A and B are shown apart, each in its own frame.
Chain A
């Protein structure tokens, strides 16, 4: 079974530029999550999708971050414009079910550096 795929693996941009990350979850998984992990901190949930609907985006900085889940499968996370403090690893995860007791399967992450 293929795992969660993410691209790119690494990205370096200058502040005020835009960037987009892509995630392909495990086939058949209903729920998709995006996390931000800043160095020295635990991952923080940015947004949770159930199929193609948003369940929780309370910690997503909506003035600059946006995300969508196309047809309930792939997802993209965009930052526009980027700030220095956005430097982090962005993790995508998916789970078969829709509950917080379901095992989440993570992708390898995208390491973003904003200069």
Chain B
């Protein structure tokens, strides 16, 4: 079983603050990295699929970067809003088609 780690495990931020969290994964045999947002009582929602070293993707106030050589991806949220409160999951895929989720970062945005 491969090690996909997310940090921090949880965080609380004030509305309007910007925040970021990390997904770490094995740097060898990289194929793709997925980011999902999972709000309580809802379906996980795909945010980004990242495939190339140096990739940067953006969706509204949320953006992500990818460094496959050192094995990490950052997810940034600019100007957090209460509706951003959710668990953010990353999922790593290697060239052997092995797919592993991290344990997630739980974000709470305090109004």
- Give the B-binding residues of A (Cβ under 8 A): 3-4, 35, 40-45, 56, 91, 93, 100-109
* 29 A–B pairs (Cβ distance < 8 Å), ordered by A: A3-B43, A4-B43, A35-B101, A40-B103, A41-B103, A42-B4, A42-B89, A42-B91, A42-B101, A42-B102, A42-B103, A43-B91, A56-B97, A91-B44, A100-B93, A100-B97, A100-B99, A101-B31, A101-B32, A101-B49, A101-B93, A103-B49, A104-B34, A104-B46, A105-B46, A106-B36, A106-B45, A108-B42, A109-B43
Specify which of B34, B44, B89, B102 lies most central, judged by the most chain A CB atoms within 10 Å of its CB. B44
> CB-CB < 8 A to A106: which residues of B?
36, 43-46
Q: Which of A40, A42, A93, A101 contacts B100 (CB 8 A)?
A: A42
Give chain B's interface residue range (CB within 8 Å of chain A). Answer: 20 to 34
Instruction: Judge whether A42 and B104 touch: CB under 8 Å.
Output: yes
A100→B4 contact, CB < 8 A? no
Question: In the docked arrangement, what's the CA distance between A41 and B106, Å?
Answer: 12
Does residue B7 face the partner (Cβ distance < 8 Å to A)? no
The dominant DSSP class at the A interface is: loop
Which listed residue (A40, A43, A100, A105) contacts B101, Cβ 8 A?
A43
- 12 additional contacts (CB under 8 A) given A91-B44, A103-B34: A3-B43, A40-B103, A42-B103, A93-B44, A100-B31, A100-B32, A102-B49, A103-B46, A105-B46, A106-B44, A106-B46, A107-B43
Pick the contact of B43: A40, A44, A101, A108 (CB < 8 A). Answer: A108
Q: How far is the CA of A10 from the CA of B99 in the complex (A)?
A: 26
**Complex: A90 Cα to B18 Cα, angstroms:** 32
A4 contacts across to B, CB distance below 8 A: 43
